[in-house]
Amino acid sequence: MRVRTILIVWTTILLIAALSAQAGTKRALLIGINDYSASRLGNLRTGSLSARNVPNLDGTLNDVAVMRDLLVALHGFKPENVVTLTDQAATRTAVVSRLREHLLRPAQKNDVVYFYFSGHGSQVRNSRSTEADRLDESLVPADARLGAADIRDKELLPIFNAILDRGARLTVVFDACHTGSGARGLDGGLRHRSIPTDTRDVADPYRGPQPESRGALILSAAQDFDLAFEMRDENGAIRGAFTWALARAMRDAEAGESAAETFLRARARLQAERPAQHPVLAGSADARLRPLLGIRTDRRDNRPLIAVERVVSEGYVLQGGWASGVTVGSELRAPGHVDVRLEVTSLLGIARCIARVRRGTTPLKPGALLEIVTWAAPPAPPLRVWIPGAANDLLALVQSLRKEAARRKIRWVADPTVVTPTHLLRWRDGAWELVGRGIRTKPTGSLLAGVHPGSSLFVELPASTALTAALSGVPGIELCPSPESADYILAGRLGRHSVEFAWVRPFATIRDRGRSALPVRTAWVSPAQPSALRDALVGLRRVQSWHELRPPAAASSHYRLAIRRADEGTFVEDGRLIGSTRYRLVLRQRRHKPDGPLYPRYVYVFVIDSHGRSKLLFPAPENGSVENLLPATPTPGRPLRDAPPEISLTVSRPFIAGKPYGVDTFFLLSTDEPLPSLTALEWTSTRGPRSGAKRGPLEQLLTRTIGGARAGGESIRTPPTWSIDRVTFESVAPKRAARSAHSTERRATVSIRQ
């Protein structure tokens, strides 16, 4: 073991040295603006721009901090080469100046150049633009309220192109959005990163080439018609939703993984967390296939080796933490001191941790290398829900409101996931609140006084005290004091004759269901059926818990899951499964294969629908762990020299996507040891599988995930050698697949039939 470890270390050192010789200097400029008050920059100018609404943000400084630490810890950036501009220091002049002085002026061939912006985006009128809308996308600087002009994309393009002219590799990330018109669905009050258009005409005819066509890689948090949201992470910190998804994707990526694969990791995170936000990756084929910001520096033979930095009173400070996949409760050992075991007790930022001696007495010196021997799966974040409650019965009042809306020519919206209303009337903090175009008001007279004829309105009814009590105490559920941080809102509506309730995702509609790993909403049910709403909440929690299940660091499989059409033999590349069509499961070798030898592993494939029901597809449930040790080898326990590019899961029978259509998530689980029981991978009831015989650590983790009980509590220690990958497909009816018509409301569930 010791000789093998030494060889691995020296091989890695030589590899990094060779790559460093080819690569140039790495430089980054990171911008984050929470404070748009301009309170310390001067007096507001009079005129049209002084009234421009530039609200503060909450998560950009957290974005800059995590991005800076990831660049240093994982991608080899020297701290002195990472420049940050935050809050009121990020004026227009300062941003443009630092772009030129820190990124452009010293740029040389093979340098890695990174520009990152987290803050408000907007648009600027440009009558000489070639774009149809005559608007330039822009970044809003910290002195915008003083009248400073936005930093337009056509101002950035010459700088970016000049960097590329010098042979440097450029990556640009924007966690901002450029339009405020992308709101849809039920307005939950989530903070987004855009402000209204600057209508002053710049009349700029610039016609330069797009940097992404010349080798640059551009990542944007949202498409032009979408909003870029902020969110709370599992610890309650506010962050940009895209930045946080990208940061976790960068952490989980392997050395040499392509930028396209890392981006897909981030996009998959957003599918579970913010389905209405669709990030964009722009770049040439070569740029997409290159690693994002160069090769990672902490991956060795699929296992991170962690160095002892220094001795402290609590034990040891280790050079490895969140960024290396280390978790509290994980156990490590020194290959040269097999009798010594350390346990991680706390994380220090994202790049360090503290560990105490759990076994052994041999002291470890700074520089000693450790490897993870048992990995502690962290608890899943809770599913956050908001339940607006009222003690009084408001049915009669809402019935009169519907009649008044009809008289005033106001469209009454029955379901905000089908039709996005221009106005939302909801009960909050003991009073009615009217929300329209992002503006919240408390009606003092008529409740509909602020809703003009021709507008549309959804009246969100609160839950009774009894219903609220019946929905409390669900494991893994956190009740939010406000809708701004909720994953789901319990929304009531006035049906034809009575009140109905459903769990609704904020800012999402049925158009998002093909991209959302969680359902846009549950079925509308009577408040007299609290058990149905409670069961639906359990199902939502289970789906979320599976999507948050994280494997050990660097434990990725050499293969990814793919689906073939059984009759045609072609792969499903568009993310759609068509009803009445037969499909087969296939393993395809990754374009970038993980480091280290390939050993056969036990493979399991199961699918979970949007209600949390699961079906095991491979191996067949009645066969157990038979013929699923893949790739097949005549000599078990020995690595394979050449891995087959594709493996057909022949034991699995073809499956058909059936009614009701919606979203399915397919999971590929691979382990070094077989699962004694397959009941942890297949269940149909809201209670999940029955408890039975004693389970191993991995089975315990899977069972707790099924039950939605991973939030809080004690972490489960598992072997560090299992992996789980997921891919989401939307199943559609044959008629819908044959035509591109707007779909009507359907239940967002899928059943998989053999």
Could you list the beta-strand ranges (E) of 379-515.
383-386, 411-412, 423-428, 431-436, 439-441, 456-460, 477-479, 488-494, 499-504
pLDDT digits (tens, 9 = 90+) for 372-386: 888 898 877 889 999
How many CA atoms lie within 13 Å of 258's alpha carbon, on the beta-carbon side?
A: 15
Give the Cα separation of 110 and 164 in Å (integer).
10
CATH T-level assignment (fold) for domain 305-377:
Thrombin, subunit H (2.40.10)
pLDDT digits (tens, 9 = 90+) for 501-555: 999 999 888 888 777 778 889 999 999 999 999 999 988 888 888 888 888 865 6
Q: What is the pLDDT of residue 183?
A: 66
pLDDT digits (tens, 9 = 90+) for 289-341: 999 997 776 554 455 678 999 999 989 999 988 888 889 999 999 877 778 89
Helix axes 241-252, 259-273, angle to 10 degrees: 130
Q: What is the DSSP letter of 519?
A: -
Strands 238-240 and 230-232: antiparallel
Closest C-alpha to 606, from 706, 707, 536, 734: 706
Q: Is the dihedral of CA 285, 288, 294, 299 positive or negative?
A: negative
Q: Do domains 27-289 and 305-377 have the same CATH topology?
A: no
Give the Cα separation of 123 and 196 in Å (integer).
7
How many CB atoms neighbour CB 209 within 10 A? 11
Across the range 39-62, mean pLDDT stands at 74
How many CB atoms neighbour CB 364 within 10 A? 21
Q: What is the pLDDT of residue 415?
A: 95
CA 249 distance to own-chain centroid:
8
Closest C-alpha to 221, from 236, 211, 231, 213: 231
Q: What is the pLDDT of residue 678?
A: 79
Give the Cα separation of 34 and 57 in Å (integer).
4
Q: Which sequence spans correspond to the domains of the chain?
A: 27-289, 305-377, 383-536, 549-753
Q: What is the pLDDT of residue 753?
A: 26
> Which of 379 and 60 is assigned the larger pLDDT?
60
* pLDDT above 60 (res 272): yes
* pLDDT above 70 (res 596): no
Residue type, 308: V
Give the Cα separation of 234 and 213 in Å (integer).
38
Q: What is the DSSP letter of 552?
A: P
Give the Cα separation of 4 and 336 in Å (integer).
11
* pLDDT above 50 (res 11): no
Let me know: does 97 contact 379? Beta carbons within 8 Å. no
Closest C-alpha to 153, from 97, 206, 82, 213: 206
Confidence label for 18 from pLDDT (cuts 50, 70 and 90): very low
Element (H, E) at 20: helix 2-22
Sheet holding 383-386, edge to edge: 477-479, 383-386, 488-494, 499-504
Q: What is the DSSP letter of 74?
A: H
Give the Cα separation of 309 and 313 in Å (integer).
13
Let me know: does 386 contact 484? Beta carbons within 8 Å. no
Across the range 593-612, mean pLDDT stands at 78
Which pair of tokens denotes residue 198?
Answer: 């600057």
Residue percentage of the chain with pLDDT more than 90:
40
Let me know: does 129 contact 135? Beta carbons within 8 Å. yes
How many CA atoms lie within 13 Å of 535's alpha carbon, on the beta-carbon side?
A: 14
Give the Cα separation of 488 and 357 in Å (integer).
43
CATH number given to 27-289: 3.40.50.1460
* pLDDT above 60 (res 16): no
Stated pTM of the model: 0.85
Strands 230-232 and 151-152: unpaired
Across the range 13-34, mean pLDDT stands at 72
Closest C-alpha to 247, from 73, 78, 4, 23: 73
Q: Round the average pLDDT of the chain to a whole number and report it.
A: 83
Q: What is the pLDDT of residue 388?
A: 92
What are the φ/ψ torsions at residue 151 (nearest 5 degrees)? -95, 105
Closest C-alpha to 227, from 115, 121, 73, 156: 121
Q: What is the pLDDT of residue 738?
A: 57
Let me know: does 317 contact 352? Beta carbons within 8 Å. yes
CA 71 distance to own-chain centroid:
19
Q: What is the pLDDT of residue 102?
A: 97
Let me know: does 276 contact 611? Beta carbons within 8 Å. no
Give the Cα separation of 702 and 677 in Å (integer).
11
Q: What is the pLDDT of residue 693?
A: 47
Cis before residue 631, ω within 30 degrees of 0?
yes
Residue type, 40: R
Confidence label for 253 from pLDDT (cuts 50, 70 and 90): confident
